Structure 1
Amino acid sequence: MDTAVRFPTTPKAIRARALKLSARMNVEKAFQTIMRNCLDQIEANENGVIKYHDVESLHQMRVGLRRLRSALGMFDEVLSLPMALRQELDWLVSRLGPARDWDVLAGSTLPRITTALDADAALVRVQHAAADQAVALHAVAGAAVASERYQSLIGRLERWLDERGWRAMQLPADKVRLKMRIGDFASGILEKDQQRLLKRGRKLKGADPEARHRLRIAAKKTRYAAEFFAALYPQKTVRPYVKALASLQDELGLMNDASVADRLLRQLSDGKEELKDGTGFLRGYLASHARLGGGTLRKLWKRFVPLRAPG
């Protein structure tokens, strides 16, 4: 009998750990706790991105980055990240984002279509070309995360967080607000996020892809805020709220994937005659199904609208 120990060929992608804020925390301590949670998620997926070019590890690193940037936006009324660090975060996002877009196209969107159809040679060629592009961009993402520039960014973020680097640039009024209990601050953030989301959802019927994208971003930010502050409120209030947001975000995400897929398929066929038939068919298929998807989105929106933000 073979008793050799076997190790997985790829690492397990790391999701965000459960975040537990205390109602006794002040705003500054809560910010540090949230940011540390986001940084832990980013750093935990480094090996999967660098060594294995793992699809899910890259996805979870991007989720960690989105959560971190969302947290910075929530607290920007009382503290601010230096512009140089903001620019470095933008650089990292620009290196990871394209690989994720092509992963979704090659690993999700196209297989879903080809499974529903009898894929001919033209569609198979497109799928292979998309997969090749995803592999190439994973190498770019891995090189970025392995670089000294990335290590410098993470080190500077951690020092700024541990040393409370925002204090040197603060006004007296901001210092007072940092000493507030987190509960009052969180309620204001959740209410503001919900109002922005409701405003963007009012014209959902007939919305174009750009309007749906703005709604998706608002839903994502509202969900992150609700998850960050969930421990401060009764679970019977938070859970249905986050669940409704997640369903809404998922449906908007699928519609956004179709919009991104159209752009990537146009890029893929540019100057490649052998891919034009396949990409043309796929773009038409995605466009026709996008027009049919609005009904599901409106149903999910109607379920969300009656819910109130925790507070």
Structure 2
Amino acid sequence: MKTQINSQTQTLGYWAVQAIQKHLEKVISHESEVLKDDDPEELHQMRVGMRRLRSAIVGFAPVLELPESAEDEKIGKIGRRLGTLRDLDVLLETLQNHYYSQLPPSEQETLDKILINLVKQRHKAFRLVEWTLDHKTYKKLKEDLQDWLEEPCFTPLEKLPIDEVLPDLLLPQISELFLHPGWQVGETQAQLNSISLETLEAILDQQGKFLHSLRKKVKRVRYQMNLFTDFYSSKYSDYLEDMKSIQEDLGNIQDSIVLGEKIAEIIPSKINSKLPVFIGLLAQNRYQSWQKWEELQRRYLKAETRHEFRLELLHPITGTENRTVDS
């Protein structure tokens, strides 16, 4: 359903309310199904809603006066508990549906034991999610934000025209993104020659934390940019699509690293001897994701690309009579 927007609603405060309401509703709509624990997709959608709610609150912070229960860190803590359960779902699904059939019988037998261990971990993680969603912290967050949406409280910036302040909201996020050290990971080696699989593993071992941090930053930028697609040209959507691709490619690398680490925790010092084919597949998948990421890395290390990105953010489309907000 679309809600028509008129010229009286083109203020910073209005769009802040729309964003918070949309993502809060998404979180609440998946809550009961998450507690039934029948479909992992429900948990995924609730986690996405929580992340986007947090991004909206951070992104619109200059205009918002929110209750204490809606502080960024409190939302983040709830989101991390949902994330722990979601990560285990992804690990289990990946092992069972992607890797298992590619392994020899001896490694499948080892993997069976690992899967049993991960299922036990998941059971504990789900109990923590159950407790979290029944705890007063989460309930108060919902209640207070619903009350706030009935009577929003703002700073004096509320009535600023959204078109005029969008660059001020978005450019600080993009500046932080472009200054992130993750862009430089492996860049020197790539200039000399193509990075081999062995070289990549050494790079990830030493600097993988920077790529993981960059992925999280890209994700926040993507969620923030998603709020304002109606205010920019198709070129803005192209940059947004790049953010999605970067997040996915770096996410695949990180998921592979986490998967190896999780298994190493279960069978410490034995993973290389007991699962050599599996370890090789993990490394190969990381390498394939790296090659996709490398193309985007080269593009965004160019001053011209970054300059054009900034210019796009500086020039929202004028004329707001036909804008809509998803509801």
Q: 2:184 aligns with which of 190, 203, 208?
A: 203
List per-residue Cα deviations over 1:128-165 (Å, max 9, x = no partner): 32234224422332343244543332111221333224
Matched AA of 2:43: L
8 Å CA contact retained: 2:30, 2:42: yes
> In structure 1, what is the Cα distance between the partners aligned to 2:120 and 2:280?
23
CA distance in 2 between counterparts of 1:91 and 1:215 reads 20
Matched, 1:150 2:138: yes
Gapped runs of 5+ residues in structure 1?
Answer: 1-16, 168-173
Q: State the match for 2:85 in structure 1.
A: 99
Q: Deviation at 1:255?
A: 1.3
Letter in 1 for 2:92: A
Secondary structure at the counterpart of residue 179 of structure 1: coil
For 2:242, give the aligned amino acid.
A
**How far 1:211 sits from its partner (Å)?**
0.6
Q: Is residue 228 from structure 1 mapped to residue 227 from structure 2 by the alignment?
A: yes
Structure 1: how far apart are the matches of 2:66 and 2:19? 15
The answer (yes or no) to whether the contact 2:26–2:46 under 8 Å persists in 1 is: yes
Matched, 1:300 2:296: yes
Check the 8 A contact 2:252/2:289 in 1, yes or no.
no
Secondary structure at the aligned position of 1:178 is classed as coil
TM-score of the pair, normalised by structure 2: 0.74
Deviation readout 1:33-58 (Å, 9 max, x if unpaired): 00001101101111210123431111
* Superposition map of 1:6-45 within 5 A: 24-45=9-30
Aligned length, in residue pairs: 284
Aligned to 2:200: none
Q: Deviations over 1:219-253 (max 9, x none)?
A: 1122112210111123x223322222111111111
Check if 1:260 corresponds to 2:245: no
What CA distance in whole angstroms lies between the structure 2 residues aligned with 1:217 and 1:91?
Answer: 15
Decide whether the 8 Å contact of 1:62 with 1:93 is kept in 2: yes
RMSD of aligned residue pairs (Cα, Å): 3.1
Q: How far, CA to CA, are the matches of 2:277 and 2:66 in structure 1?
A: 46
Question: Could you say if the C-alpha distance between residues 18 and 122 of structure 1 is closer, same or farther in structure 2, counting changes exceeding 3 Å?
Answer: farther
Is the CA contact (8 Å cut-off) linking 1:21 and 1:231 kept in structure 2?
no
Residues 301 and 115 of structure 1: is their aligned pair in 2 closer, same or farther, counting only changes over 3 Å?
Answer: farther
Go from structure 1 to structure 2 and tell me whether the alpha carbon gap of 1:75 and 1:285 turns closer, same or farther (over 3 Å shift).
Answer: same
Counterpart Cα distance in 1 of 2:100 and 2:6: 49
Q: Is the 8 A contact 1:53 1:139 kept in 2?
A: no
- Give the partner amino acid of 1:238: Y
Residue 82 and residue 192 in structure 1: after superposition, are their counterparts in 2 closer, same or farther (change >3 A)?
A: same
Please tell me whether the aligned partners of residues 122 and 277 of structure 1 are also in contact (alpha carbons under 8 angstroms): no
Q: CA deviation at 1:109?
A: 4.9
Aligned-residue offset at 1:276: 9.5
Question: Using a 3 Å threshold, how does the CA distance of structure 1 residues 83 and 277 change in structure 2: closer, same or farther?
Answer: farther
Q: Which runs of 5+ in 2 are unaligned?
A: 187-202, 316-327
In structure 2, distance between residues paired with 1:250 and 1:28: 32
Shift in CA distance, 18/126, structure 1 to aligned 2, threshold 3 Å: farther
Query: TM-score of the superposition, structure 1-length normalised?
Result: 0.78
On the 8 A contact 2:215/2:251 being kept in 1, the answer is yes
Amino acid at match of 1:140: L
Tell me the CA shift for residue 79 of structure 1. Answer: 2.9
Alignment partner for residue 158 of structure 2, among 178, 199, 207?
Answer: 178
- 1:126–1:279 Cα contact (<8 Å) kept: no
Please report how far the alpha carbon of residue 19 of structure 1 lies from its aligned counterpart in structure 2 after TM superposition.
Answer: 9.1
Matched-pair contact (CA < 8 Å) for 1:204–1:298: no
Matches of 1:151 and 1:83 in 2, distance apart?
A: 13
Give the residue type in structure 1 aligned to 2:175: Q
